[in-house]
Amino acid sequence: MRSVTQPPVVIELPAWADDFVAAAVTAPTDEARMRFVIELARRNVVARSGGPFGAAVFESGYAQPLAVGVNRVEALNNSCLHAEVVALMAAQVRVGSFTLRDDGISTRTLFTSCAPCAMCLGAVLWSGVGRLVCGATREDALALGFDEGPVFAESWSYVEDRGIEVVHGLLAAEARAVLAQYRAAGGLIYNR
Protein backbone atom coordinates (compact mmCIF):
# COMPACT_ATOMS: atom_id res chain seq x y z
CA MET A 1 0.00 0.00 0.00
CA ARG A 2 1.18 3.49 -0.76
CA SER A 3 1.23 6.21 1.83
CA VAL A 4 -2.27 7.60 1.91
CA THR A 5 -1.81 11.33 1.93
CA GLN A 6 -0.22 13.25 -0.87
CA PRO A 7 2.41 15.64 0.43
CA PRO A 8 2.18 19.28 -0.64
CA VAL A 9 4.44 20.55 -3.40
CA VAL A 10 6.47 23.53 -2.20
CA ILE A 11 8.18 25.82 -4.66
CA GLU A 12 10.93 28.09 -3.39
CA LEU A 13 13.72 30.08 -4.92
CA PRO A 14 17.30 29.03 -4.22
CA ALA A 15 18.82 30.59 -1.11
CA TRP A 16 21.03 33.04 -3.03
CA ALA A 17 17.99 34.62 -4.67
CA ASP A 18 16.62 36.34 -1.57
CA ASP A 19 19.39 38.90 -1.25
CA PHE A 20 19.64 39.38 -4.97
CA VAL A 21 15.92 39.99 -5.40
CA ALA A 22 15.73 42.20 -2.31
CA ALA A 23 18.35 44.48 -3.82
CA ALA A 24 16.79 44.49 -7.26
CA VAL A 25 16.01 47.91 -8.63
CA THR A 26 15.81 48.24 -12.38
CA ALA A 27 15.37 51.13 -14.71
CA PRO A 28 11.90 51.03 -16.25
CA THR A 29 13.24 49.94 -19.62
CA ASP A 30 12.91 46.61 -21.37
CA GLU A 31 16.69 46.38 -21.67
CA ALA A 32 17.32 46.85 -17.94
CA ARG A 33 14.70 44.30 -17.06
CA MET A 34 16.04 41.82 -19.58
CA ARG A 35 19.54 42.28 -18.12
CA PHE A 36 18.05 41.47 -14.72
CA VAL A 37 16.56 38.14 -15.82
CA ILE A 38 19.73 37.24 -17.71
CA GLU A 39 21.63 37.89 -14.47
CA LEU A 40 19.18 35.62 -12.63
CA ALA A 41 19.94 32.90 -15.18
CA ARG A 42 23.67 33.45 -14.83
CA ARG A 43 23.59 33.24 -11.06
CA ASN A 44 21.55 30.06 -11.29
CA VAL A 45 24.32 28.54 -13.40
CA VAL A 46 27.12 29.74 -11.13
CA ALA A 47 25.35 28.49 -8.00
CA ARG A 48 24.50 25.21 -9.76
CA SER A 49 20.95 25.65 -8.52
CA GLY A 50 19.22 24.86 -11.81
CA GLY A 51 19.08 25.28 -15.56
CA PRO A 52 20.37 28.44 -17.31
CA PHE A 53 17.07 30.29 -17.34
CA GLY A 54 15.65 33.28 -15.46
CA ALA A 55 12.35 35.14 -15.61
CA ALA A 56 10.52 37.91 -13.79
CA VAL A 57 7.20 39.70 -13.84
CA PHE A 58 7.54 43.48 -13.85
CA GLU A 59 4.83 46.11 -13.65
CA SER A 60 4.84 49.56 -15.10
CA GLY A 61 5.48 52.01 -12.28
CA TYR A 62 7.59 49.72 -10.09
CA ALA A 63 11.36 49.51 -10.02
CA GLN A 64 11.33 46.12 -8.31
CA PRO A 65 9.99 42.94 -9.86
CA LEU A 66 6.60 41.67 -8.78
CA ALA A 67 8.07 38.16 -8.73
CA VAL A 68 11.04 36.28 -10.11
CA GLY A 69 11.79 32.74 -11.18
CA VAL A 70 14.74 30.60 -12.03
CA ASN A 71 14.75 27.08 -13.37
CA ARG A 72 14.26 24.63 -10.47
CA VAL A 73 13.67 21.37 -12.36
CA GLU A 74 16.62 19.41 -11.03
CA ALA A 75 16.84 20.98 -7.58
CA LEU A 76 13.18 20.45 -6.70
CA ASN A 77 12.58 17.27 -8.71
CA ASN A 78 9.86 18.93 -10.75
CA SER A 79 9.91 19.09 -14.53
CA CYS A 80 7.28 21.88 -14.57
CA LEU A 81 9.51 24.34 -12.77
CA HIS A 82 10.87 26.29 -15.67
CA ALA A 83 11.78 29.87 -14.77
CA GLU A 84 8.64 31.29 -16.36
CA VAL A 85 6.29 28.99 -14.41
CA VAL A 86 8.08 29.78 -11.15
CA ALA A 87 7.81 33.53 -11.78
CA LEU A 88 4.17 33.47 -12.90
CA MET A 89 3.02 31.34 -9.96
CA ALA A 90 4.83 33.59 -7.49
CA ALA A 91 3.42 36.74 -9.09
CA GLN A 92 -0.12 35.43 -8.80
CA VAL A 93 0.36 34.45 -5.18
CA ARG A 94 1.70 37.94 -4.55
CA VAL A 95 -1.29 39.71 -6.14
CA GLY A 96 -3.72 37.17 -4.70
CA SER A 97 -5.37 36.36 -7.99
CA PHE A 98 -5.22 33.66 -10.64
CA THR A 99 -4.79 36.37 -13.24
CA LEU A 100 -2.25 39.13 -13.69
CA ARG A 101 -4.54 40.93 -16.10
CA ASP A 102 -3.89 44.65 -16.25
CA ASP A 103 -5.81 46.46 -13.56
CA GLY A 104 -5.97 49.70 -15.51
CA ILE A 105 -3.10 51.15 -13.48
CA SER A 106 -0.23 48.85 -14.29
CA THR A 107 0.68 46.59 -17.17
CA ARG A 108 2.35 43.34 -16.23
CA THR A 109 5.09 41.92 -18.41
CA LEU A 110 6.91 38.62 -18.20
CA PHE A 111 10.59 38.88 -19.05
CA THR A 112 12.32 35.61 -19.78
CA SER A 113 15.96 35.02 -20.61
CA CYS A 114 14.97 32.47 -23.28
CA ALA A 115 11.91 32.03 -25.48
CA PRO A 116 9.35 29.89 -23.66
CA CYS A 117 8.84 26.20 -24.40
CA ALA A 118 5.38 24.85 -25.25
CA MET A 119 4.43 24.46 -21.60
CA CYS A 120 5.55 27.94 -20.65
CA LEU A 121 3.92 29.59 -23.66
CA GLY A 122 0.64 28.03 -22.54
CA ALA A 123 1.30 29.22 -18.99
CA VAL A 124 1.90 32.76 -20.28
CA LEU A 125 -1.43 32.65 -22.10
CA TRP A 126 -3.36 31.68 -18.94
CA SER A 127 -1.40 33.99 -16.65
CA GLY A 128 -3.01 37.26 -17.68
CA VAL A 129 0.24 39.10 -18.47
CA GLY A 130 -0.14 41.66 -21.21
CA ARG A 131 3.38 41.44 -22.60
CA LEU A 132 6.08 38.83 -23.05
CA VAL A 133 9.69 39.85 -23.65
CA CYS A 134 12.17 37.09 -24.61
CA GLY A 135 15.97 37.06 -24.72
CA ALA A 136 17.62 34.02 -26.28
CA THR A 137 15.67 32.24 -28.99
CA ARG A 138 14.19 28.79 -29.38
CA GLU A 139 17.07 27.99 -31.73
CA ASP A 140 19.56 28.95 -29.02
CA ALA A 141 17.93 26.52 -26.58
CA LEU A 142 17.80 23.77 -29.20
CA ALA A 143 21.47 24.33 -29.99
CA LEU A 144 22.26 23.68 -26.34
CA GLY A 145 20.31 20.39 -26.54
CA PHE A 146 17.15 21.45 -24.74
CA ASP A 147 13.88 20.44 -26.36
CA GLU A 148 11.38 23.32 -26.61
CA GLY A 149 8.33 21.24 -27.43
CA PRO A 150 5.56 21.84 -29.96
CA VAL A 151 5.77 25.60 -30.52
CA PHE A 152 5.01 26.68 -34.08
CA ALA A 153 4.55 29.99 -35.90
CA GLU A 154 0.80 29.64 -35.38
CA SER A 155 1.38 29.15 -31.64
CA TRP A 156 2.79 32.67 -31.46
CA SER A 157 -0.08 34.01 -33.56
CA TYR A 158 -2.52 32.34 -31.22
CA VAL A 159 -1.03 34.12 -28.23
CA GLU A 160 -0.77 37.49 -29.99
CA ASP A 161 -4.34 37.20 -31.29
CA ARG A 162 -5.44 37.03 -27.66
CA GLY A 163 -3.90 40.39 -26.92
CA ILE A 164 -0.44 39.51 -25.62
CA GLU A 165 2.33 41.64 -27.11
CA VAL A 166 5.47 39.60 -27.78
CA VAL A 167 9.03 40.87 -28.15
CA HIS A 168 11.61 38.37 -29.43
CA GLY A 169 15.37 38.31 -29.13
CA LEU A 170 16.01 41.27 -26.83
CA LEU A 171 19.70 41.20 -25.84
CA ALA A 172 19.82 37.73 -27.35
CA ALA A 173 23.63 37.63 -27.46
CA GLU A 174 23.91 38.31 -23.72
CA ALA A 175 21.24 35.73 -22.99
CA ARG A 176 22.95 33.19 -25.24
CA ALA A 177 26.20 33.68 -23.37
CA VAL A 178 24.59 32.21 -20.25
CA LEU A 179 23.56 29.12 -22.19
CA ALA A 180 27.16 28.73 -23.34
CA GLN A 181 28.34 29.14 -19.75
CA TYR A 182 25.99 26.35 -18.65
CA ARG A 183 27.29 24.06 -21.36
CA ALA A 184 30.89 24.84 -20.41
CA ALA A 185 30.10 24.04 -16.78
CA GLY A 186 28.75 20.63 -17.81
CA GLY A 187 25.18 21.42 -16.77
CA LEU A 188 22.51 18.75 -17.15
CA ILE A 189 20.28 18.85 -20.24
CA TYR A 190 17.36 17.27 -18.41
CA ASN A 191 14.87 16.73 -21.22
CA ARG A 192 17.16 15.81 -24.06
- Which residues are designated catalytic? 84
Task: Check residue 155 for interaction with a second copy (CB under 8 A).
Answer: yes
Query: Residue 16 interacts with a second copy (CB under 8 A)?
Result: no
Task: Check binding of 77 to a second copy (CB under 8 A).
Answer: yes
Between 17 and 36, how does the x/- string for binding to a second copy read (CB under 8 A)?
xx--xx--------------
Residue selected from 34, 117, 136, 144 as contacting a second copy according to rule CB under 8 A: 117
Nearer to a second copy, 30 or 74 (CB): 74
Give, in degrees to the nearest 5, the angle at Cα 170 between 164 and 173.
150
Extract long-range pairs of 76-80: CB within 8 Å, 24+ residues apart: 76/11, 76/12, 78/9, 78/11, 79/190, 79/191, 80/119
One symbol per residue from 91 to 110: x for binding a second copy (CB under 8 A), - otherwise; what is it?
Answer: -xxxxxxxx-----------
Parallel, antiparallel or unpaired: strands 54-59 and 108-114:
antiparallel
